[in-house]
Amino acid sequence: MTRIAPTALYQEVAERLRQRIFAHELTPGTWIDEQKLAEQYGISRTPLREALKVLASEGLVDLKPRRGCYVTEISRQDLDDIFPLMALLEGRCAADAVNRAKPIEIRELKKIHESLENTAQEGRIDAFFEANQAFHKRIQELANNRWLLSVIQDLRKVLKLSRLHSLSLEGRLQQSLDEHRAIMAAFEAGDAVKAEQLMHDHLLSGREALVKMDIKNGKAA
Amino acid sequence: MTRIAPTALYQEVAERLRQRIFAHELTPGTWIDEQKLAEQYGISRTPLREALKVLASEGLVDLKPRRGCYVTEISRQDLDDIFPLMALLEGRCAADAVNRAKPIEIRELKKIHESLENTAQEGRIDAFFEANQAFHKRIQELANNRWLLSVIQDLRKVLKLSRLHSLSLEGRLQQSLDEHRAIMAAFEAGDAVKAEQLMHDHLLSGREALVKMDIKNGKAA
DNA sequence: GTGCATAATACTTTATCCATAATTATGGAA
DNA sequence: TTCCATAATTATGGATAAAGTATTATGCAC
């Protein structure tokens, strides 16, 4: 019996570690014990080490030679650097997507947007979060630029390191929804320039909310 | 005697492989024989495999599970995707750099530009190439955005896979020089908007030259 | 003669083992 | 009591070996 998707062990391990890091089960700054982890997963250290190399070049962990592996700590400066960059990139995505999308694809996007409306009204935070991700991802796919997509996804992984990032949406659910409505309208109107502008500002306003939380909680990242 | 920079073996191996790939000694599409390579370098296959994982997440090689490792083949579509993206990113870099750079840093940049002028006049292609890289890199550093920098450098690595890319500069040395002069002038005038626009177009005109060569040679990438 | 199946070979993948370097703890001296 | 040095322990990094899977070639059958 040959597997349909022949993924190597190190890839599966990398994915499991990613999930644990995103879930903040492995918090930034903590040391990753290779031996213990290998034992936990019931594998040898070799594929684990290879997985850590992959995570390191994704920026999720820091690999200090002869000193071990640590979950990356993201600073406020990093967030200040990444958010404008994401705004730029996702803005471009939106513009390209508007220009390329066929009517049927716009309708499909609209469906995702509607599930966003529904989950918001029903107050299902986690489902809203999911739909939000799906909406953004779909637009990125519509832009049809493999490299733009991969750059954005890599940066998003890094953003996920910040606990505040996932929490920030909750506090501005209504605002986020409004912004999404406007973006959707620009798509339906075929206005690429406006879609770019709106998406750009949408990302930056996410950063704004995060700054406010940051101040309230009085701690960094 | 403890080393100042304790780099792991896999990192050195990764760097050596990068150089061989960029030099097109390992051409796109070719299979990388782990055993032979490990023997050549006089190391075991473990660090070599780890190096390949790193190169894979940089996009320089394709790691097909159970099928081995191949040098990435870059398509014309990839170039069409990457160049506008680079134009966007380096344009942003230029704008940020203008806004952040102190007068002394502008003067340092000017020095690099002048060596560009000199090497061009003397017809020293390879030195011109070096200075060109230094100029772009310096602007990226002046933008002072760690993540923007790393994204650009990653994409540039991928571009280097294309042989035509390095050749394209030769055919448009004068034009490239003119564009650099204009960019330098925008820096000295402190005009961020203009610098962004010029840098953006500079990248795109590089792509244009590449398309023309492509047509003349009648082959892809 | 062509197509399919089986076997053999070769390469990837994973596990175990060893050596080296770093960190921590303990003991002695100031 | 505190600081420095030395030794021991622990973890990382590299090597080697074994096992499993994929591909290719050869042989047989239709």
Tell me: the pLDDT tens digits for A81-127?
999 999 999 999 999 999 999 999 999 999 999 999 999 999 898 89
For chain B, the residue count is 221
Confidence class for position B217, pLDDT limits 50, 70, 90: low
A34 touches strand C (CB under 7 A): no
Q: What is the pLDDT of residue B49?
A: 87
Q: What part of B 104-133 touches A (C-beta under 8 Å)?
A: none
Q: For nucleotide C20, give the residue with the nearest CA to its C1'.
A: A66
Rg of chain B on CA atoms, in Å: 19
Q: What is the pLDDT of residue A83?
A: 96
CB contact under 8 Å between B85 and A148, yes or no, is yes
For residue B3, pLDDT over 50 is answered with no
Search chain A and give the residue with CA nearest B144: A81
Task: Tell whether B76 lies on the interface with A, counting CB pairs under 8 A.
Answer: no
Range from A38-42, A163-167, B4-8, B122-126 carrying the lowest mean pLDDT = B4-8
What residues have CB less than 8 Å from A208, skipping those under 6 apart? Answer: none
Residues in chain B within 8 Å Cβ distance of A7: 65
Nucleotides, chain D, CB distance < 7 Å: 11-17, 21-23
Number of A:B CB contacts under 8 A? 74
Around Cβ A135, how many Cβ atoms within 10 Å? 18
pTM: 0.91
Could you tell me which of B88, B91, B98, B134 has the C-alpha nearest to residue B115?
A: B134
pLDDT tens string B5-16? 557 888 888 999
B185 touches strand C (CB under 7 A): no
Could you tell me which of B133, B144, B129, B131 has the C-alpha nearest to residue B93?
A: B144
A32 touches strand D (CB under 7 A): yes
Search chain A and give the residue with CA nearest B158: A147
Closest nucleotide C1' to the C-alpha of A38: C15
Spatial distance between the Cα atoms of B132 and B151, rounded to a whole number of angstroms? 19
Q: Considering CB atoms only, which of A58, A81, A89 is closest to B57? A: A58
Q: What is the pLDDT of residue A82?
A: 97
CB contact under 8 Å between B155 and A148, yes or no, is no
HEC letters along A194-218: HHHHHHHHHHHHHHHHHHHHHHHHC
A46 touches strand D (CB under 7 A): yes
| Residues paired with residue A63 on neighbouring β-strands, in sequence order | A69
B4 touches strand C (CB under 7 A): no
Closest nucleotide C1' to the C-alpha of A68: D12
Around Cβ A137, how many Cβ atoms within 10 Å? 16
Strand order in the sheet with A68-71: A31-32, A68-71, A61-64
Could you tell me which of B139, B145, B149, B148 has the C-alpha nearest to residue B106?
A: B139
Chain A nearest-CA distance from B114, in A, is 31
